[in-house]
Amino acid sequence: MSYFETIILGLVQGIAEFLPISSSGHLVIVEALLRKLGSRAALEGSLEDNLELNVALHFGTLLSILVVYRQQLLTLIASAFRVVLQPRQAAEGDRSNLGVIVAIVIATLPVVVVGLLFKDQLEQVFNTPIAAGFGLCVTCGLLFLTPRIDRGTQPLEQIHWSNAILVGLFQAVAPMPGISRSGTTIVGGMLSGLRRDAAANFSFLIAIPAILGATILHAKDLLEQGAGETPPGAILAGTVVAFVVGLAALKLLLRLVAAGKLVWFAWYCLVVGVSVIIWQLSV
């Protein structure tokens, strides 16, 4: 892939990984558009085939979350160590933070099962523009629910295993292109009774193991198959763009969630989803 193509894909990954509009769906759609425009790299294969770029783009967005949530992550880790190593000196807040870590683990398990058991089937059957279009319509429907379900009162510190299970089940469908991981998990958190800010923060905390797991799986495939022909400089450019744009997109979404504006993205998903479906059916 050229510098231009990796930068475009990095831009799409950085925006769509965090905004509730599905990064996987947009990457599938953008690749189809590049292919239609005669892009040599797109004609030769998909992003799933370009393992080193796939790993790099995921790594870029993972760094974005680690930067934004660095203080909260350090607090959670420190609390866990105090509870385990110095239980008598641990405060109530430390135990609450440990509860958040346990909830992250519980919420991650369903998507791990789906990823391990159905990764190849999902890529082969659903990795198409028309599937992404229908997935975006599903995301649209979920986001339209947010004003009606915005009644939660639980802060993140009081998260329960039942909240984590429901959010985890919502996250388990997110590997399908067009189904937004951030959108579904925030909706799942709000449905479970979490405040919308707590639902958003939990969504991005569980994104860390989810994105890290996807990166490791692709890195494993990369080690087995070997690197492709994309220049290292182009891969680095895509990674940097994904990181920088991801930072901006994540901060923007947190502000919009706080303002109760998630429904704005429902209209975007509806327009893009329906447009892609019409495009694909007319080909």
pLDDT tens-digit readout, 213-222: 877 876 776 6
In this model, does residue 252 exceed pLDDT 90?
yes
**What is the predicted pLDDT for the residue at 196?**
94
Other beta carbons within 10 angstroms of residue 87's beta carbon come to 10
**What is the predicted pLDDT for the residue at 43?**
42
Place of tokens 């993972």: 62
The pLDDT tens digits for 33-55 are 877 777 655 444 455 556 688 78
Q: Determine contact, residues 181/174, Cβ cutoff 8 Å.
A: yes
Rounded to 10°, the helix 3-18/51-68 angle is 40
CA distances from residue 245 to 64, 73, 144, 161 in whole angstroms, order as listed: 9, 21, 26, 33
In this model, does residue 157 exceed pLDDT 70?
yes
Choose the weakest-confidence range: 5-19, 49-63, 74-88.
49-63
CA distances from residue 244 to 9, 35, 197, 221 in whole angstroms, order as listed: 13, 26, 23, 26
Place of tokens 């989810």: 210
Other beta carbons within 10 angstroms of residue 224's beta carbon come to 8
Q: What are phi and psi of 273, to 5 degrees?
A: -60, -50
Query: What sign does the CA torsion over 146, 149, 155, 160 have?
Result: negative
Choose the weakest-confidence range: 73-87, 227-241, 245-259.
227-241
Helix, strand, coil shares of the chain, percent, nearest 5, are 80, 0, 20
